[in-house]
Amino acid sequence: MKITKICCIGAGYVGGPTMAVIAKNNPHIKITIVDINAERIAAWNDDDVSKLPVYEPGLADIVKETRHKNLFFSTDINTAIDESEMIFISVNTPTKTYGKGKGMASDLKHVELCARNIADIAKTDKIVVEKSTLPVRTAQAIKSILENTGNGVTFDILSNPEFLAEGTAIDDLLHPDRILIGGESEEAIDSLASIYASWVPREKILRTNLWSSELSKLTANAFLAQRISSINAISELCEHTEANVNEVAKAIGMDSRIGSKFLKASVGFGGSCFQKDILNLVYVARSYSLNEVANYWEQVIIMNDHQKRRFSDRLIKTLYNTVSGKKIGFLGWAFKKDTNDTRESAAIYVADHLVSEQAYISVYDPKVSAVKIQTDLNYLNTRTEADNLKYVESSNTPYEALKDAHAVAIMTEWDEFKTYDWVRIYKDMKKPAFIFDGRNILDKSSMETIGFEYYSIGQ
């Protein structure tokens, strides 16, 4: 099928950047990104591109170049579905917070609503593309809904998982390691492949069956997260021996079978994908009674939770076993640098733990708003909103966040943190002044020369 119009349901971190890059490379295809969230659509349409709802280096330029030409943002979901030959489903699939599979399974209600919406509206044949990360065999559910409730038109389902990482989304989209398309109809796969082929070399476009494609996405994230939990497990051992985790990571990473990427020890991985996808994998494995498989992967999450907990425990212990009434300055709240996304960020859990010990936290993050920080804490439901406001504040500058603090906790690896005037920060802090570098970004000996007591991960 020749594609002239595309609709993407879901204007989030995945849908927005992905469609912008497809639009840039396919000027003859009209792409409409729709969302039920009117505020989000308005932000995507804002003339001031610094107000886009997603911050990604390079994204604003592509949106400026394509918007109102062949890229449109709208809340009119039905019109976009009706006129498009291809529809991407790119809605959120969070971990369920209720009922069966609570805390483990993916909540597919948004995906199902999309499928029903498409079935209702479609009057011509459509290719429906799963872009959201989904449990294995979701395509079956989508297909069943489309076929049983549709208007007799033909639907081809494709799985086309997105492997972009936040903060580098545009670069990842422009130069992907591979594009994965799973499906049953070769013709439908061809239609999607030719859209990517306008900028991705053909040999990088991989075709599989639907189920391999769905499972590959979960597996890729599980393997990546596993590397982090593995190096974090070693980091704890390093702290009890005289080994240094950075040296160990370098030494093992030079083995081409292991590879050097994704071996940075940290306060723990965050982000919307890793935890959710592994929990999902565990849930799916259990549902087939594959308990050894489930337990194996679950350990990656257990280790990550331990790493976050261990970071705050060590901070408390070092501050003479109490942080009650003490100010702790946080540098960073986002789950990684170069993004304003905070989903599952280690900072949230570490802050929550410290506040339970009555610490006062002052946060500086270059891209995360004060409102977001409170929302993240309130979402945990550990205490009242008023208490979260009382104990956690957000500062406009790093110097304000760290003034009179007993300790600095570095939660995100923002580059700018390395360039601060650490002598000034030291002077303004309570003594002894402690640094807990959850990202190993500062230089231990320079910090010690200034006067800090410096603790990092795995050293």
Residue 113: name its binding partner from ligand UDX, ligand ADP, none (Cβ under 5 to 8 Å by kind).
Answer: ligand ADP
Give 67's DSSP letter: B
- Told to judge if 273 belongs to the known catalytic residues of this protein, a careful annotator would answer yes
**CA–CA gap between residue 79 and residue 73 (Å, rounded):** 12
Report the alpha-carbon distance of residue 176 to residue 70 in Å, rounded.
22
280 lies in the binding site for ligand ADP (CB under 6 A): no
Minimum distance from CB of 117 to ligand UDX (Å)?
A: 25
Was 96 annotated as part of a binding site?
A: no
Options 24, 30, 40, 336; binder of ligand ADP; rule CB under 6 A: 40
Residue 120: CB minimum distance to ligand ADP, A:
12
Q: Which 8-state DSSP code applies to residue 412?
A: S
Residue 92 engages ligand ADP in binding (rule: CB under 6 A): yes
Buried/exposed code over 15-31 (b: 16+ C-beta within 10 A; e: otherwise): bbbbbbbbbbbbeebbb
Residue 327, φ and ψ in degrees, nearest 5: -90, 130
List 44, 73, 163, 454, residue binding ligand UDX (CB under 6 A)? 163
Between CA 382 and CA 378 the distance in angstroms is 7
DSSP labels for 331-369? Answer: E--SSSTT----TT-HHHHHHHHHHHTT-EEEEE-SS--
User: How many whole angstroms separate alpha carbon 436 and alpha carbon 359?
Assistant: 15
331 binds ligand UDX (CB under 6 A): no
* Residue 271 makes contact with ligand ADP by CB under 6 A: no
* Binder of ligand UDX out of 164, 181, 373, 410 (CB under 6 A): 164
Burial group, residue 102, by CB count within 10 angstroms (0-12, 13-18, 19+): exposed
Q: What's the rounded Cα separation, in Å, for the pair 403 and 426?
A: 9
Instruction: Say whether residue 452 binds ligand UDX (CB under 6 A).
Output: no
Cβ-proximal residue to ligand ADP, closest one: 12
Question: Near ligand UDX by CB under 6 A, which window of 29-37, 68-76, 164-172, 396-404?
Answer: 164-172
- Of ligand ADP, ligand UDX, none, which one sits near residue 110, judging by CB under 5 to 8 A according to partner kind? ligand ADP
The alpha carbon dihedral of 351, 352, 358, 361 has a sign of: positive
# residues contacting ligand ADP (CB under 6 A): 20
**Taking CB under 6 A as the criterion, which residues in 207-246 touch ligand UDX?**
221, 224, 228
Tokens of residue 135, six digits: 């449990």
Nearest to 2 by CA among 192, 136, 180: 192
Query: Do 270 and 345 contact (CB within 8 A), yes or no?
Result: yes
By CB under 6 A, name the one of 158, 273, 282, 300 that touches ligand UDX. 273
304 contacts ligand UDX (rule: CB under 6 A): no
CB under 8 A, 24+ apart: contacts of 421-427: 422/446, 422/447, 422/450, 422/452, 423/450, 424/399, 425/398, 425/399, 426/450, 426/451, 426/452
Task: Say how far apart CA 222 and CA 170 lie, in whole Å.
Answer: 23
Cβ 105 vs Cβ 280: under 8 Å: yes
Our finding on whether 13 is near ligand ADP (CB under 6 A) is yes
9 in contact with ligand ADP (CB under 6 A): yes
**Site for ligand UDX contains 128 (CB under 6 A):** no
Token duo for residue 266: 């940290």
Q: Which of 8, 12, 169, 407 binds ligand ADP (CB under 6 A)?
A: 12
CA 410 to chain centre: 19
How many helices (H) and strands (E) would you count in the chain? 18, 14
Beta-carbon-side half-sphere exposure of residue 109 (alpha carbons within 13 Å): 7
Active-site choice (7, 114, 238, 273): 273
Distance of closest approach, residue 173 Cβ to ligand ADP, in angstroms: 13
* Nearest CB to ligand ADP, comparing residues 15 and 183: 15
**What is the nearest approach in angstroms of ligand ADP to the Cβ of residue 288?**
26
Residue 164 binds what, of ligand UDX, ligand ADP, none (CB under 5 to 8 Å, by partner type)? ligand UDX
Unique residue bearing structure tokens 């053909």: 202
User: Which position among 263, 294, 323, 347 is part of the footprint of ligand UDX (CB under 6 A)?
Assistant: 263
15 binds ligand ADP (CB under 6 A): yes
Is residue 37 part of the contact set for ligand ADP (CB under 6 A)? yes
The answer to whether 217 is annotated as binding is yes
Q: Which region, judged by CB under 6 A, interacts with ligand UDX, from 98-106, 200-208, 265-273, 443-451?
A: 265-273
**Strand spans (E) along 75-124:** 86-89
**Known binding-site residue numbers for NAD(+):** 10-15, 35, 40, 91-95, 132-133, 166, 273-276, 343
Contacts with ligand UDX by CB under 6 A lie at 162-166, 221, 224, 228, 262-264, 266, 269-271, 273-274, 335-336
**Known binding-site residue numbers:** 10-15, 35, 40, 91-95, 132-133, 162-166, 217-221, 257, 264-270, 273-276, 335-336, 343, 439
**Known binding-site residue numbers for substrate:** 162-166, 217-221, 257, 264-270, 335-336, 439
Contacts with ligand ADP by CB under 6 A lie at 9-15, 35-37, 40, 77, 90-92, 110, 113-114, 132, 272
| Active site positions, annotated | 273
